[in-house]
Amino acid sequence: MEGGKPSLALVYQAIQALYHDPDPAGKERASVWLGELQRSMYAWEISDQLLQLKQDVESCYFAAQTMKMKIQTSFYELPTETHNALRDSLLSHIQNLKDLSPIIVTQLALAIADLALQMASWKGSVHTLIEKYNSDVTSMPFLIEILTVLPEEVHSRSLRIGANRRTEIIEDLAFYSSTVVTLLTSCVEKTGSDEKMFIKVFRCLGSWFNLGVLDSNFMASNQLLMVLFQVLQRDETSTNLHEAASDCVCSALYAIENVDTNVALALQLFQGVLTLETAYHMAVAREDLDKVLNYCRIFTELCETFLETTVRSPGQGMGDLRTLELLLICAGHPQYEVVEISFNFWYRLGEHLYKINDAALNGLFRPYIQRLLHCLARHCQLDPDHDGIPEDSDDFGEFRMRVSDLVKDVIFLVGSMECFSQLYSTLKEGNPSWEVTEAVLFIMAAIAKSVDPENNPTLSEVLQQVVLLPENVHVAVRFTSIELVGEMSEVVDRNPRFLDPVLSYLMKGLREKPLASAAAKAIHNICSVCRDHMTQHFQGLLDIARALDSFALSTEAAVGLLKGTALVLARLPLEKIAECLSDLCAVQVLALKKLLAEESRNGKSADPTVWLDRLAVIFRHTNPIVENGQSHPCQKVIQEIWPVLSQTLNTHQADNRIVERCCRCLRFAVRCVGKGSASLLQPLVTQMVSVYQVYPHSCFLYLGSILVDEYGMEEGCRQGLLDMLQVGLCACPPSQLLEQQNGLRNHPDTVDDLFRLATSRFVQRSPITLLSSSIIVHIIQCAIAATSLDHRDANCSVMKFVRDLIHSGVANDHEEDFEVRKRLIGQALEQHGQQLVAQLMHSCCFCLPPYTLPDVAEVLWELMVFQRSTFCRWLEHALKGLPKETSGGAMTVTHKQLTDFHKQVTSAEECKQVCWAIREFTRLFR
């Protein structure tokens, strides 16, 4: 912190302000100042002093939290000789503050655990802690808290202790695990009925189960397991204790995922969980939803654990199908939250059976799935007194969406046609209430697409009946029936006689506010699937598009309607397309002109994004088939619209959001007509360059790469496009991004679009232009720095640029400039190769998430193919530069691991071997 170490009084004052200042601005200032303090070196000493003073809960909590944070993120700041003193100090603090507040004890326990994991000199930490505190009853709660968080922190993302240290710690914890269980057992025996201690013991045991270090044979005969099930069987168990016991059983079940190697414990847990059915019924009778949910979690975890056994040997031993019965009992509970817990299991069961593809096996599980579907249909029913349409944004709406997804995944076991017919017969033969009808239609909509539409009389009958629904049925039934019609668009396509009645039905819905968006979505589906049949209705679609804002549509539904209209427009005869496209765009263009006119009159800026988005979707989906030699029918329309788009872009050039929408619109316009937009190129590039020099929006770079894609091979366009990149690099040069603090991190979109443009134009089409230019040094330096950027798109574009650049010197494509390319890339790598490899290795180990590693592997592979012997030297030098020890003194990487990795990479015969080697190697640093 600037100005040196602050006084304790000042720190205390800031903490008080953080918690008690009535002025939000005062709280915010205190928060920022304390955040700076936590990042400074003074935080260690000040936290220690605050904990010693023990002035109040707030200051002690801040200090304990700071200690934990510093140990997690800044442990390297402390010299090795201070580690023992820090450990002793923390143990002293937790002892002195054990009665002040449980959350302070937890923060200090986390600090001690994180220290133990990083401090290599603290051998057998579990043993020393148990030795020190197990004879003192008052110390037992914090001892168990430390023993609970220690296994949890082993895989914490906040700690980069590396695979070697992690393996060492797990082996150490496994060695002492039986000592911990024995301690927990004696705690239960000594405390009798102390509920808080039981909760702590179960949490701790669950934590050790989760780490997977407990001996399963030792646990199978352990008294704690018996106590767990006794607690869960007892009707009078409190909610908190019940939850802790349930969590522990779920952790135990998860830990024995590999049932065959944990048979004794698996059997104990299997039999134990089956005894809980009576307790479940008792919880239902008492309307104790918390306990019901806990039991359902346990039953689901049981089914997940024994899934493979159940599929391999259904009905035998631990493949006993009573497990599925337990889940179906839960599915019968009136609250939908209960059945929802089991969804992942049913999905996984469906996936397993689909892969095995055995008709006899499917037949065995079919009755269970049928019963599940029956329960789901009932759970999807709205309340009888529900008004209006079904909501999709509340919890129940999201549940229904998940039901829809699950039904689609498991329907093959029942047969979609059979299920669809059965559902329809319940509507046809009975006289169900509106909420039952709506739920059945909802499930039918989920499976309609998976029913074969070919000559299917049931589907035709359903469609006929739905469009005849009277207007006085409940609005929710009409809403869901409209969704069902939209899902049956393939039936309409096979049976064009339904098109008129279906469109007439949907038009009625479009005119009613609550049904409008659903009807629009259904019309969009019909347009997408029945494009050819819909051409005769194009005038009707055009009328809807002209009156779009007279309907009560969501933004998404309005855009969907225009998309459907554009898809049909593209199927019209070529000579009609230009006029119809002009008509379709006219409403949007007039609205934009009106906004621009108002702006010039009153100087107020109005938002044009709605109209730009609508134009964009029209251009994007108007893709007629144009034969060679024919002029593109959309070309004239886009030329007419250009002045309005150009003026809109100029007017809003300072507003990144609107400029992005303009660029998106132009991008689809250019893609729509391809080479036909050549007349736009000069004015468009000129305008982009002039605006970019003042407001360097990254979307211009992206639009630039689209222009390059379309025109890069056109001789007359090359110079203009080259100038565009030069301007792009000058207005927002790589050197500027590198000089700014966090410049790359703060502008990932610019990095993404800049390298996408550089790749698409220069590397893929004319690498020599780039390699010979003065900007190559800057762009390579920027690329090297940007390899550490943890941003999916930006990182991908940077890696692709580097890979493709090097590859252009590897791929001998028999072009006369190959030798020149190879020489220029060789010169660039001579200057930057070592730095590139070192940066890539550092980024892999310390900056990048695992999903980016295949991209890194491709760059290393290209480097190796280009210059294997030099690359071997670069890699060796890069590996020597990596830290061999953690700040806590633990070995990060051994000499053998370094040489093995070097050998694996340099002797690889294909790129994926390099990728596997990097994946394994980088775990040593995570």
The predicted pLDDT at position 139 comes to 93
CA–CA separation, 721 and 701 (whole Å): 11
Contact between 487 and 529 (Cβ < 8 Å): no
Q: How far apart are CA 232 and CA 241, in angstroms?
A: 9
What is the Cα–Cα distance from 669 to 643, expressed in whole angstroms?
Answer: 13
Average pLDDT of each block of 10 consecutive residues along the chain (926 residues)? 81 92 91 94 94 93 96 93 95 94 96 96 94 91 97 92 94 96 93 88 97 94 95 96 98 92 95 97 97 98 96 93 97 97 97 95 96 96 94 92 96 92 88 93 94 86 90 94 96 93 95 95 96 95 94 94 96 92 94 88 82 96 84 90 94 93 93 80 84 84 78 59 56 52 70 76 70 79 88 89 87 71 88 94 93 94 92 95 88 93 94 95 92
Euclidean distance between CA atoms 746 and 753, whole angstroms = 14
Vertex 767, ends 717 and 839: CA angle to 5°?
A: 135
Residue 718 has a pLDDT of 56
Both tokens of 869, joined, read 């012997």
State residue 717's pLDDT score.
Answer: 59
Tokens of 221: 């005969």
Rounded to whole angstroms, how far apart are CA atoms 445 and 468?
17
187: exposed, middle or buried (Cβ count in 10 Å: 0-12, 13-18, 19+): buried
CB 797 within 8 A of CB 759: yes
DSSP string, 615-655: HHHHHHH------TTSPPTTHHHHHHHHHHHHHHHHHTTT-
Helix (H) or strand (E) holding 203: helix 195-211
CA-CA distance, 854 to 919, in Å (whole number)?
9
**Whole-number Å distance between alpha carbons of 88 and 752:** 49
CA angle in degrees (0–180, nearest 5) for 510-546-638 = 135
Give the separation between CA 301 and CA 672, rounded to whole angstroms: 52
248 contacts 204 by C-beta, under 8 angstroms: no
Quickly count: other Cβ atoms within 10 Å of residue 827's Cβ: 12
As a whole number of angstroms, the distance between CA 117 and CA 123 comes to 10
The pLDDT of residue 1 is 60
Sign of CA dihedral 141, 143, 148, 149: positive
For the chain, the maximum distance between any two Cα atoms, rounded to a whole number of angstroms, is 93
Q: How many residues are there in the chain? A: 926
Q: What is the distance between the alpha carbons of residues 926 and 153, in angstroms, rounded to a whole number?
A: 13
Give CB contacts under 8 A, 24+ apart, made by 574-581. Answer: 574/624, 574/626, 574/630, 574/633, 575/633, 577/622, 577/624, 577/633, 577/634, 578/633, 578/634, 578/636, 578/637, 580/538, 580/542, 581/618, 581/622, 581/633, 581/634, 581/637
Report the 10 Å Cβ neighbour count for 428: 11
Token output for 223: 């008294």
- CA–CA separation, 615 vs 609, rounded Å? 10
pLDDT recorded at residue 362: 95
What pLDDT, on a 0 to 100 scale, did the predictor assign at position 822? 85
Alpha-carbon distance values, 128 to 147, 227, 492 (Å): 12, 28, 75
Whether the CB-CB separation of 634 and 622 falls below 8 Å is answered with yes
Radius of gyration of the chain from its Cα atoms, rounded to whole angstroms: 34
Structure confidence at residue 731 (pLDDT): 45
Q: Which amino acid is at 198?
A: F
Tokens of 777: 């040094």
Distance in angstroms (rounded) separating the CA atoms of residues 88 and 95: 11
The crossing angle, in degrees rounded to 10, of helices 868-880 and 818-846 is 20
Given this model, what pLDDT does residue 677 score?
74
Nearest residue to 640 via CA among 687, 605, 600, 592:
592
**By C-alpha distance, which of 67, 16, 18, 26 is closest to 44?**
67
Residue carrying the six token digits 């690099």: 729
> Using CA atoms, how far apart are residues 66 and 38, in angstroms rounded to an integer?
6
Query: What tokens appear for 900 in the block?
Result: 């093995």
Count of CA atoms in the C-beta half-sphere (13 A) of 35: 6
Cα of first residue to Cα of last residue in the chain, in angstroms, is: 29
Q: In whole angstroms, give the CA distance from residue 217 to residue 221.
A: 7
